Amino acid sequence: MKHLRSLVVLLIALLIGSACGGGSDAPRPDREGSAFLAALLTAGPVSDAGWYAGAYEGLQWLEDSLGAATSHQQTRTPAEFDEAMIAYASDGYDLIFAHGFEYQDAAIRVGAIFPETTIIVSSGGRIAPNVIPLRFKLEEGSYMAGITAGMMTATGIVGMVGGVPIPPAEGTFLGFEAGARLVNPDVEVLVTWLGSWDDVASAKEAAVAMMRRGADILIHNTDAASFGVFQAVRQARDAGDDVWAMGMNRDQNDVFPEVILGSAVLRIPEAFLTVAQRWRSGELPPGEPYFAGGATRAADYVVNPVLRDRYSPELRARLEAVRMGIRDGIIDVPRVEFMETGDSSP
């Protein structure tokens, strides 16, 4: 059965290769003048000031720091996932960063056809010899955001606005709620899933609804939809309400500095660079996930310097103690486990 599935995928690859002329329409990269070829796939725009923007910055780091020739494509459908990966692999790309949980199945399929191409799947849960999940421990940053919210809320109600309830996103909200309840056991935590990462209008409506229910601190795990949350909070503050927002995935403190208390951040460029360096040196074990969290300083909570005076000395000390505890392995933040074990080949 596995051989049959492989033949089917190979046929798809041949058909796509025929339609695309063996690869993408863009000029083929100059391998002789480059250390290696690296591509990035995102399912959303890199102008989101968050998850995708961090990945694109990471791709640029590979070019600037390691001399890689790079390319980026935005792909929105599963069919486009396969097509773009096959096109890049056919053109001889060495590394493909597929930036999102949604790419994992396509990576397994395409990785079986092109064993010489290494595919890094951000927040992936499936493994093959040349398919490596890059597992970000963002729940460690959101845990500290939760501690902040739990200690700063005046109403005792906080809110979480999410995109699509996939395991990595659910894990960040689990961490946020755990942090809030650690310092405020009676806190009420509201959650809304939009079913979209980029629907700004829906995110704004969800944020407004939460604030009407008394939530005075809102965090998100979305992409471009985060702007809807920030806009709603800013308008509420302009109307005289004592409400605040929090950023996620990237340091978003400067997006709306007057309303964002801090951000649960992933240092995605650093993680991309580390993975690429380890791959080049042969130190990236095949068939194993790479974990990027507080221990590697890839996940953190960053206080908005504009609003630093809102943080009490007690809260600042608590956050630093938790940060050190995570780095030293003393504090184990609750997480959603979604790594598959055993044979994940197609």
Q: What is the pLDDT of residues 313-331, one digit of tens each?
A: 999 999 999 999 999 999 9
Are both 176 and 202 inside the same structural domain? yes
Predicted local confidence at residue 344, as pLDDT: 45
pLDDT at residue 94 is higher than 90? yes
Over the chain, what is the mean pLDDT?
90
pLDDT at 1 over 50: no
What is the distance between the alpha carbons of residues 204 and 228, in angstroms, rounded to a whole number? Answer: 4
Within 88-156, strands assigned E span: 95-98, 118-122, 131-136
> Is 302:116 a contact under the CB 8 Å cutoff?
no
Say yes or no: 114 and 244 in one domain. Answer: no
Nearest-CA neighbor of 106 among 123, 70, 131, 136?
131
Give the C-alpha separation, 12 to 6, whole Å: 10
Q: Do 180 and 194 share a structural domain?
A: yes
Q: Any idea how long the chain is?
A: 346
In a shared domain, residues 151 and 120: no
Residue 144 has a pLDDT of: 98
Mean pLDDT of 318-345: 83
Give the C-alpha separation, 284 to 23, whole Å. 27
Q: Which two tokens stand for residue 138?
A: 């963002």
Q: Verify that 262 and 279 share a domain, yes or no.
A: no
Q: Specify if 246 maps to a domain.
A: yes
Q: State how far Cα 245 lies from the chain centre.
A: 19
Whether residue 345 is contained in a domain is answered as: no
Task: Express each pLDDT in 236-259 by its tens digit.
Answer: 999 999 999 999 999 999 999 999
Q: Return the pLDDT at 28.
A: 57
| DSSP run (H or E) holding 211 | helix 200-212
Is 297 inside any structural domain? no
In angstroms, the CA 140 to CA 129 distance is: 28
Are 116 and 329 a contacting pair, CB within 8 Å? Answer: no
Query: How far is residue 93's CA from residue 74's CA, in Å, rounded to a whole number?
Result: 17
User: Does residue 246 share a domain with residue 111?
Assistant: no
Grade residue 25 by pLDDT with cuts at 50, 70 and 90. very low
Q: Are residues 99 and 168 in the same domain?
A: no
Pick the closest to residue 270 from 289, 304, 293, 286 (CA basis). 293
- Confidence band of 32 (pLDDT split at 50, 70, 90): low
Q: Kindly state the percentage of the chain with pLDDT values over 90.
A: 82
| Residue 274 sits in the same domain as residue 312 | no
22: in domain: yes
In a shared domain, residues 143 and 211: yes
Strand partners, 189: 158
Q: What's the pLDDT tens digit per position in 165-190? A: 999 999 999 999 999 999 999 999 99
Q: Which residue has the tokens 């403190």?
A: 253
Specify the pLDDT at position 34.
79
pLDDT digits (tens, 9 = 90+) for 50-66: 999 999 999 999 999 99
Show the domain range for 94: 2-26+33-136+269-292
The verdict on residue 283 lying in a domain is yes
Q: Please indicate, yes or no, whether residues 64 and 184 belong to a single structural domain of this protein.
A: no
pLDDT of residue 295: 78
Residue 226 lies in a domain: yes
Element of type H or E holding 217? strand 217-221
Q: Are residues 91 and 145 in the same domain?
A: no
Q: What is the pTM of this model?
A: 0.84
- In this prediction, residue 30 carries a pLDDT of 62
Number of structural domains in the chain? 2
What's the pLDDT score for residue 337? 84
- 104-141 pLDDT, tens digit per residue, is 999 999 999 999 999 999 999 999 999 999 999 999 99
In a domain, 40, yes or no: yes
Report yes or no: 96 and 77 within 8 Å, Cβ to Cβ: no
Cα radius of gyration (the chain): 21
pLDDT, residue 345, reads 44
The predicted structure's pLDDT at residue 172: 96
Do 188 and 262 have their domain in common? yes
Q: Provide long-range contacts, Cβ within 8 A and 24+ apart, for 25-28.
A: 26/71, 28/91, 28/92
Question: Which helix (H) or strand (E) element contains residue 20?
Answer: helix 2-20
* Structural domain contains residue 73: yes
Q: Provide the CATH number for the domain around residue 128.
A: 3.40.50.2300
Q: Which residue has the tokens 């894990």?
A: 171
Dump pLDDT digits (tens) for 204-229.
999 999 999 999 999 999 999 999 99
pLDDT at 163 over 70: yes
pLDDT at 31: 66
